[in-house]
Amino acid sequence: MSLDPINFFKGALEIPSTSGQERLVAQYLAEGMGQLGMKAWVDEADNARGQLGSGPLQIVLLGHIDTVAGTVPVRVEGDKLFGRGAVDAKGPFVTFILAASQLSKEVLDRATFHLVGATEEEAPSSKGARYVAPKLKPDFVIIGEPSGWQGITLGYKGRLLVRVRREKDHFHAAHHEPNAAEELISYFNSIKAWAEAMNVGQGTFHHVQYTLRDFRIQPAELKQVAEMVFDLRLPPRLLPEDAIRHLLAYAPPTIDLDFSGREVPYVGPKDTPLTRALRTGIRKAGGTPVFKYKTGTCDMNILAPHWPVPMVAYGPGDSRLDHTPLEHVEIPEFLNAVSALRHTLGQLAEKAGAQAHPTN
């Protein structure tokens, strides 16, 4: 049985699914996978799961189905499909579903495909990816993230989330002493200076990036309380624990630091059976493959330590539209990505079969 690809995609966009609220869209996607002949279900982490094929080669196709907040009216304008998640990242996961559903019986006899529409990727928890990490043992992994249909993403920066708090006795504003908020500002400025010094002579992917996420001052009575949250995007040369040592060294003893979201940077090799198959698939669909490195983070960072196998990120869409009010995907690009991925998966299975049964 087949589904109209654009209507199926559009239906997924019409179901809101901010982090922690993915169950309805997971049910929709599981129902679609079932209609396409897959074993399909929603698991305990609210992941949309699909499985097809019976071969020994294990291939995981994992893309997140949660989105950030904010409504982008779902609509088709010309060749553009708008909606929250069109790029980041329901579009890539729908691409996975449609590409897998078009595989031949010969391919399905050689490989087993595990589809995971993962939850809470946009939250620090990465609940969906962490849930399946110990349950699957893939030979190859493709993560659903926007790379552009001709792009192959090999690496993502790591991440560290930092929560800073300062509490001190209140005093009159005329008193010549930094208040709690000013102390936090001074600390953040010192971290900015450290990051900028680390970035001298480095390309963008190798920069330490910093973003102030929140800053709050509680009304002062007997105590002043100021809190801020910032995150760091970490290049491959700087692991989270190394960054923490720097942050502690710059911190005065009067402030409290809390660290979370310790995601390790990941960079995969250019030449693997997976990258070769994906390059071939893109060319067969009429494209010119190009390698990319992203300054953000994704479930690749979570899963790479658990699954030390060839891994890339792939999917239609321009990542510059992530989280924006104009989030949309070009429909021809989406359909090209489905075609490229179908060729890729067939190529992987074919090569695996040839290696398992070499000719004399």
Residue positions annotated with a catalytic role: 66, 121
What does the alpha-carbon distance between residue 33 and residue 151 come to, in Å, rounded to a whole number? 26
**Phi and psi angles of residue 193, each rounded to the nearest 5 degrees, phi first:** -65, -40
**Phi and psi angles of residue 142, each rounded to the nearest 5 degrees, phi first:** -120, 125
- Can the peptide bond before residue 89 be classed as cis, meaning omega within 30 degrees of 0? yes
> What residue ranges in 9-55 does DSSP mark as E strands?
39-42, 48-53
Residue 328 in contact with residue 104, Cβ under 8 Å? no
SS3 assignment, position 168: strand
Query: Cα 266–268–273 angle (5° rounding)?
Result: 150
Handedness of CA 297, 303, 309, 311 (dihedral sign): negative
What are the distances in angstroms from CA 274 to CA 140, 171, 223, 280? 7, 63, 58, 10
The amino acid sitting at 255 is I
**Of 59, 65, 67, the residue nearest 18 (C-alpha):** 67
